[in-house]
Amino acid sequence: MKDATARTTYLHDYRPPPFTIDSTELDFDLYETHAVVQARLQFRRNPDFGGVDEDMLILHGRELVLEELRLDDRVLEAADYVLEEESLRIPKLRSLAQDGSDRFTVYCRTRIEPQNNTALEGLYKSRKMFCTQCEAEGFRRITYYLDRPDVMSKFTTTVRAEREKYPVLLSNGNCIAEGECEDPARHWTTWEDPFPKPSYLFALVAGDLVSLDDRFTTSSGREVQLRIFVEPRDLDKCDHAMVSLKKAMRWDEEKYGREYDLDIFMIVAVDDFNMGAMENKGLNIFNTSCILANSATQTDWAFQRVEAVVAHEYFHNWSGNRVTCRDWFQLSLKEGFTVFRDSEFSADMNSRSVKRVQDVAFLRSVQFAEDSGPMAHAVQPDSYMEISNFYTVTIYEKGAEVVRMISNLLGPERFRAGTDLYFKRHDGQAVTIEEFVNAMEDASGVDLKQFRNWYRQSGTPVLEIDGFHDAERQRFELRVRQSCPPTPGQEIKVPFHIPLRMGLLDPAGREIPLRLQGEPAAVGKDRVLAVTQPVETFVFEDVAEPPVASLLRGFSAPVRLKYDYTPEDLLFLMSNDSDGFNRWNAGQELALMLMRELQEDFRGGRKLALPKILREAHRNILAEAVDAGAEADRAMFAELLRLPAESFLIEQADIADVEAIHAVREFLLDGLAESHRNLVADLFESIPATGAYRADAESIAARSLRNLALSALVRSGEKDWLELCLRQFEQANNMTDQLAALQILTHSRAGEGVYQAALAQFHEQWRGEPLVVDQWFSLQATRPHPGALAQVRELLRHPDFEIRNPNKVRAVIGAFCGQNHVNFHDASGSGYEFLGEQAMQLDAINPQIAARLITPLTRWRKFDSGRQQMMREQLSRIGDRDGVSRDVSEIVVKSVG
């Protein structure tokens, strides 16, 4: 392996910075061939440094051309400092600085080339606009700096550029002055951000942009100006984001008592962006895919994503910006907490149970996979090589689950007291996860000592539970065993504190009052057991008949639950459980169990048969959905009818047989569609087609259930339904219905004869809309049919494909490798080879994107030995490339090493 990874950063090496920067004055001159950055930094010795006074100043910097360096008023000569790949050192501060080096200023002028910056970190160009992305360590590509989150400084920024090309010049905070430059073709603006912030929250934008403007009055009566900046062609796609922003601002006031703190809040949309969006203080920068929403061009899914991402980045203003992270090991302090906040927001705006189902489905298929693979790490990791690789589903989604558990353990009032205390105590500070937990404990009096293991230990805990009914004593015993498999660097685990929410159902489907042994009386029908020991038993009294246990309600902890349910138990829970989440989960478990058996049949070459009990389960749901009509939570019915995703089936297998998984799933979809064609048709017809488009939760749910029904109907093979699908494709007045129809046509056997014409027509219709073209790419890249790889190779040569645009890369390469399981895992190894080739090419362009793209290869342990070997070969090939990035190298070393 090439040695790009020599540097590992450890949590236990953390030291406070020897110096802090009180003020940061930045000056940008933007040109087509380069940019000149001047920084004036006021340093001060950090009283909290501890240890011996440093006589050396070490600044971070990467790919900068240093043009001038001054310390106080003295111009430094080359002999006064040392320049290395990633740092600038000034060794003899005391002798160089004027006043004993306790306070000094550094002036530094650097030159960079934003137009050649394809890593999209630091200052870069996205199409015709300049923009920045500084988290986590991008600021050091702009100027030499103490680029670490515990150095918080007041920023003043001046931007100069040609007026004609860049009429809009933005940075964080308030615009305090603007004018014309000496060269009358150029102009400038100066921005001042009154809140001290770490460099990763710095942002700058220059472009030819238009804006949607609005206002918001905060709860204390302050007026805030809201502006969403986009390219002119996208101005008609900003309304939903603006509505979402105002909802999020109100929600954070009501639920957390958090008011916005500047006079202006701006969002800018950019085409080329590594991530979804970024919370820079007062100037959020968004991937167009997470901000634009118009019913003609975006699906309902995109509308909900926009609502969630706008809220997420806005919520960071408190959970991330006002209170920030001490170091990047604390990343989940802001990300896990903020994901929890945005998921609660989405739950309040839409259907709570559906949001929970979607979050858990994602966690279980993606985060569980990470947690059982070579990249497994704790919510608070203890080391990293490249921090960009640690923006993971574990930090985000598992981190959010851990905060959710705290919120459930404390209850709403005490949790709110905890967050109030946290924000008050640490406003303006850079803190640790430990300080968050301390605030929760201090405000609530709840002991979270053992609970802290959730932050330190990686791996998904396993709860093995057995139930025993003692008819004579009228008792029901739950014997609970917890364990956690070894993960890299953590062989042995200590027990977790696992909140296990549960209930017991009697044979008539009624909830049994729950009295634990030793309690004088029952304490409700739905309780949270604190599982804290490796093995323990909970005994319930007054249980006359054998109950069915409903366990881990609401997915009360991110664990794997093992309980010996019979298919009949699961069917029973599906119709009787009072917990909506567990009703859905029972359906998933039932399908999973039956699908495993069918996979065995498939492997044994036996004829597959549709299990009666699954047919019955689906008939019940369909009948209920038809009866319930418009009153029902149709989104929940859609979830109940969905079979477990292939990604989930792969994760749940010890060794996944992708062909069997795919074949069985397709077989069941066909069989269920065939058996229930009349009921499905009734369901379809009971839901009115979209009239005037609305993006509210109810209309979204109706479309999702109707389109699910349509896909089953087309599967059933009747010509009329295929024609109806074609008509919907041609006549739909919204992207959700149009794309759903196109997906059915391209992915189903029935669509074989017509899909190519439909794809061509769709491209013709939407070629001017890059985000729609991304959808068009993805649909083709995820076609499960043989020959998909050849098609994907064609797509890479399509004039609309751009390897430098992350959205395009994700739409084609990412979609094929991450979602088209049968084709990516083709026994020939062609899918793996394809990814190897693409990853090497991308690594030279954008290491962050390359590193993310190879994730599917790191899951090699899940597959048979032949595939394992081929996957590892590709990883090694990628890691051996001359000039391999630190990002990619870390992933390769950790997953094959």
Q: Catalog residues that contact Zn ion under the rule CB under 5 A.
A: 335, 338
Which of residues 123 and 275 has its CB atom nearest to ligand BES in the complex?
275
Of 542, 537, 478, nearest in space to 514 by CA: 542
Of 138, 137, 97, which Cα lies nearest the Cα of 121? 138
d(CA 65, CA 35): 11
Nearest CB to Zn ion, comparing residues 290 and 571:
290
Q: Which value, to the nearest 10 degrees, does the dihedral of the CA atoms of residues 372, 377, 379, 385 take? A: -150
DSSP helix/strand/coil, 440: helix
Q: Which residues contact 845 (CB under 8 A, 6 or more apart)?
A: 118, 119, 803, 804
User: What phi and psi values does residue 363 have, to the nearest 5 degrees?
Assistant: -55, -45
x/- letters, 545..574, toward ligand BES (CB under 6 A): ------------------------------
Judged by beta carbon distances under 5 to 8 A according to partner kind, the member of Zn ion, ligand BES, none in contact with residue 707 is none
Q: Per-residue contact track with ligand BES, 392 to 431, x per CB under 6 A?
A: ----x-----------------------------------
Angle between helices 300-315 and 735-747 (to 10 degrees): 120
Taking contact as CB under 6 A, which single stretch among the options 240-248, 306-314, 421-429, 855-863 is the one that binds ligand BES?
Answer: 306-314
- Crossing angle of helices 433-444 and 399-426, rounded to 10°: 80
Tally of CB atoms within 10 A around 188: 18
Residues 663-682 that bind ligand BES (CB under 6 A): none
Contact segment (CB under 6 A) with ligand BES among 275-283, 370-378, 504-512, 783-791 equals: 275-283
CB of 205 to ligand BES, least distance (A): 16
Q: Which two tokens mark 805?
A: 């645009």
- Residues, the chain: 897
CA 724 to chain centre: 36
- Nearest by Cα to 157 from 165, 141, 169: 169
| Residue whose pair of structure tokens reads 């919370």 in the numeric block | 279
**Nearest CA among 226, 205, 209, 228 for reference residue 217:** 226
* Binding pattern for the stretch 335-374 against ligand BES, x by CB under 6 A and - elsewhere: x---x--x--------------------------------
Strands of the sheet containing 82-84, edge to edge, are 57-60, 87-90, 82-84
Asked if 276 is part of the footprint of ligand BES (rule: CB under 6 A), the reply reads yes
Structure tokens at 410: 């404390």
Q: How far apart are the first and last CA of the chain?
A: 9
311 vs 673 by CB, closer to ligand BES = 311
Q: What is the DSSP letter of 230?
A: E
Q: Residue 309 or residue 484: which is nearer to ligand BES going by CB?
A: 309
Instruction: Decide which of ligand BES, Zn ion, none touches 205; Cβ closer than 5 to 8 Å per partner kind.
Output: none
Out of 191, 391, 476, 721, the residue judged to bind ligand BES by CB under 6 A? 391
Residue 309 found at the interface with ligand BES (CB under 6 A): yes
CA 628, 632, 637: angle at the middle one, nearest 5? 95
Select from 308, 366, 552, 726 the one that contacts ligand BES (CB under 6 A).
308
User: Given the complex with Zn ion, which of 294 and 338 has the nearer CB atom?
Assistant: 338
Interatomic CA distance for residues 16 and 578, integer angstroms: 51
Which of Zn ion, ligand BES, none sits in contact with 386, Cβ below 5 to 8 A by type?
Answer: none
CA dihedral of residues 644, 662, 779, 370 (deg, nearest 10): 60
From the list Zn ion, ligand BES, none, partner contacted by residue 308 (C-beta under 5 to 8 A by kind): ligand BES
- Least Cβ distance, residue 461 to Zn ion (angstroms): 26
Tokens standing for residue 53 = 């006074």
Find the shortest distance in angstroms from Cβ 278 to ligand BES: 5
Q: How far is the CB of 392 from ligand BES (least distance, A)?
A: 10
> What is the rounded radius of gyration, in angstroms, for the C-alpha atoms of the chain?
28
- Which of the stretches 35-43, 271-279, 677-685, 766-774 binds ligand BES when contact is defined by CB under 6 A? 271-279
Residue 638 sits in the site that holds ligand BES (CB under 6 A): no
In this chain, which residue has its C-beta nearest to ligand BES?
Answer: 276
The number of CA neighbours under 13 Å toward the Cβ of 347 is 15
- Residue 276 binds which one of ligand BES, Zn ion, none, with CB within 5 to 8 A depending on kind? ligand BES
* # residues contacting ligand BES (CB under 6 A): 17
Active site residue 397: no
Phi, psi dihedral angles at 896 (to 5 degrees): -110, -20
Within 13 Å of residue 144, how many CA atoms lie on the same side as its CB? Answer: 28
312 binds ligand BES (CB under 6 A): yes
Number of Cβ atoms within 10 Å of the Cβ of 523:
12
Listing DSSP states for 168-217 in one string gives: EEEESSEEEEEEE-SSTTEEEEEEEEEEEE-GGG--EEEES-EEEEEEEE
CA-nearest of 483, 437, 482, 487 to 458 is: 487
Residue 275 partner contact from ligand BES, Zn ion, none using kind-dependent CB cut-offs of 5 to 8 Å: ligand BES
Among 131, 262, 275, 433, binds ligand BES (CB under 6 A): 275
The amino acid occupying position 175 is C
Q: How many CA atoms lie within 13 A of 553 on its CB side?
A: 19
| Stretch of residues binding ligand BES (CB under 6 A), selected from 52-60, 277-285, 457-465, 856-864 | 277-285
Nearer Cβ to ligand BES (207/320): 320
Rounded to 5 degrees, φ, ψ at 871 are -65, -40
Verify binding: residue 278, ligand BES, rule CB under 6 A: yes
Nearest approach, Cβ of residue 452 and ligand BES (Å): 24
Q: How far apart are CA 799 and CA 797, in angstroms?
A: 6
**Closest separation in Å from C-beta 338 to Zn ion:** 5
As a whole number of angstroms, the distance between CA 250 and CA 799 comes to: 44
Binding marks (x or -) toward ligand BES, 763..802, rule CB under 6 A? ----------------------------------------
Cβ(287)–Cβ(270) below 8 Å:
yes
Q: Which residue stretch of 77-85, 102-110, 272-280, 620-628 sits at the interface with ligand BES (rule: CB under 6 A)?
A: 272-280
CB-wise, 187 or 312, nearer to ligand BES?
312
- Provide, rounded to whole angstroms, the least separation between the CB of residue 276 and Zn ion: 9
Per annotation, catalytic residue among 121, 137, 307, 313? 313
Q: Which residues in the 163-192 window bind ligand BES by CB under 6 A?
A: none
User: What is the identity of the amino acid at 287?
Assistant: N
Q: Tell me how far, at minimum, the Cβ of 698 lies from Zn ion, in Å.
A: 29
Pick one of Zn ion, ligand BES, none as the site partner of residue 339 (Cβ within 5 to 8 A by kind).
ligand BES
Least distance (Å) between residue 443 CB and ligand BES = 25
Q: Return the residues of window 313-342 that contact ligand BES according to CB under 6 A.
A: 313, 316, 335, 339, 342
Which residue from 120, 201, 245, 277 is in contact with ligand BES, where contact means CB under 6 A?
Answer: 277
Nearer to ligand BES, 335 or 843 (CB): 335
Count of alpha carbons within 13 Å of 482, Cβ hemisphere only?
Answer: 22
Q: Which stretch binds ligand BES (CB under 6 A): 8-16, 107-115, 237-245, 270-278?
A: 270-278
Does residue number 136 form part of the binding site for ligand BES (CB under 6 A)?
A: yes
Which among ligand BES, Zn ion, none contacts residue 309 (Cβ within 5 to 8 A by kind)?
ligand BES
Active-site positions read 313
Residues that bind ligand BES (CB under 6 A): 135-136, 275-279, 308-309, 312-313, 316, 335, 339, 342, 391, 396
